[in-house]
Amino acid sequence: MEIQVKNISKIYGANENPVVALNCTSMTIHEKDFISIMGPSGSGKSTLLHIVSGLDNPTSGSVLYDGADIHKGSDKELSAFRRQKIGFIFQQFNLLPVLTAYENITMPLLLDKKQADEEYLQKLTSLLGLEKRLSHLPHELSGGQQQRVAIARALIAKPDIIFADEPTGNLDSKSGGEVMKMLCEIHGQMHKTLVIITHDPRIAEMAQRRFTIIDGELSEVNP
Ligand code: ADP
Ligand code: MG
C-alpha cells in the first residue's frame, strides 16, 4: 500500500491562540519503507503520525492510501480501516489494565468479531519473547514486556503498516534496544511498512529513509 500525504496542515485552537502544529506537509510512504522521523518536543511529530494513521483529522490537506482519502469516509469506516490495515504503537503502551496480555493482544480482533489465528499468534509471541507472560496483567509486566505486548497487539490483525510514536521513550536503554531490535525484525521478516518517531539519533539511523521535523515543517534527510 502506498500512502500519499498531501499538503497537510493542522491548526489547533483556531479562534484566539491558533497553534500551527503542521504547516503544509507532504510525503510519500512506499510499501515496505522503514522511515524515521526526528524532531524536538512540540515540533508536530505526534500530530503528523495521528493524521497519517487516521487517529486525527487534518485542518486541510489529504491522506491517500492507494489513492483513497481516508478522512473522507465515516468515523466507523475509518476505525474499521485502521483496525485492519494499521498497527499503532504508543509511547505509553496504552494497554487496558484489567485485561491479560493475551486479551490485550487479541482485543482488535474481538472488535471485528474475528478469531485469533493461533499459529500466527504463537509466532508473534515467540518473536516478541512473550510466551510465558500471556496470562499476566500489564502491572505484572516490566515496561519492555508491556511494550512488546503492545507491539503484538499492533500486529495481530496482520496490518500492512506499523506506526510507532516514540516506542522506546518510556523504556530504559536495554529494553528500548530490545524493542527496537524486534521492530527491525518485524520490518525485515514480516515485510511491514514501518514509520517510527524518535528522539534518539541511533534509532533514526536504523531507518532507510530519515525525516526531520522542526516547527511543523517536515523534510527528508538526503532524499
Ligand atoms: P511532538 O509530538 O513533536 O512533541 P505534537 O504533535 O504533540 O508534538 O504537538 C505539536 C504542537 O501542537 C505543540 O505546540 C503542541 O503544544 C500543540 N498541540 C498538540 N496537541 C494539541 C491540542 N490537542 N490542542 C492544542 N495544541 C496542541
Ligand atoms: Mg509526541
In the 3-class helix/strand/coil scheme, how is 45-110 assigned residue by residue?
HHHHHHHHCCCCCCCEEEEEECCEECCCCCHHHHHHHHHHHEEEECCCCCCCCCCCHHHHHHHHHH
Q: Look up cell 521513550; give the residue.
A: 169
State the ligand closest to the CA atom of 44.
1
Among 9, 41, 43, 166, the mutation site with the greatest number of ligand 1 atoms within 8 A of its Cβ is 43
Residue 159 beta carbon below 6 angstroms from any ligand 1 atom: no
- From ligand 2's centre to the CA of 210, what distance in Å? 17
Instruction: Assess whether the C-beta atom of 43 lies below 6 angstroms from ligand 1.
Output: yes
Digitized pLDDT (tens) for each residue of the chain, 223 residues in all: 999 999 999 999 877 889 999 999 999 999 999 999 999 999 999 999 999 999 999 999 999 999 999 999 899 999 999 999 999 999 999 999 999 999 999 999 998 899 999 999 999 999 999 999 999 999 999 999 999 999 999 999 999 999 999 999 999 999 999 999 999 999 999 999 999 999 889 999 999 999 999 999 999 998 7
C-alpha cell at 173: 536503554
**Spacing of C-alpha 118 from chain mean position:** 23
Q: Which three cell numbers stand for residue 52?
A: 497519517
DSSP count for the chain of H helices, then E strands: 7, 10
- Cα 70 to ligand 2 centroid, rounded to whole Å: 22
Give the number of the atom of ligand 1 that is nearest the alpha carbon of residue 213. 3
The protein residue with its alpha carbon nearest to ligand 1, atom 10, reads 44
Q: How far is the centre of ligand 2, averaged over its atoms, from the C-alpha of 116 (Å)?
A: 31
* d(C-alpha 46, C-alpha 39), whole Å: 10
pTM over 0.85: yes
Q: Is 168 in the pocket of ligand 1 (CB under 6 A)?
A: no
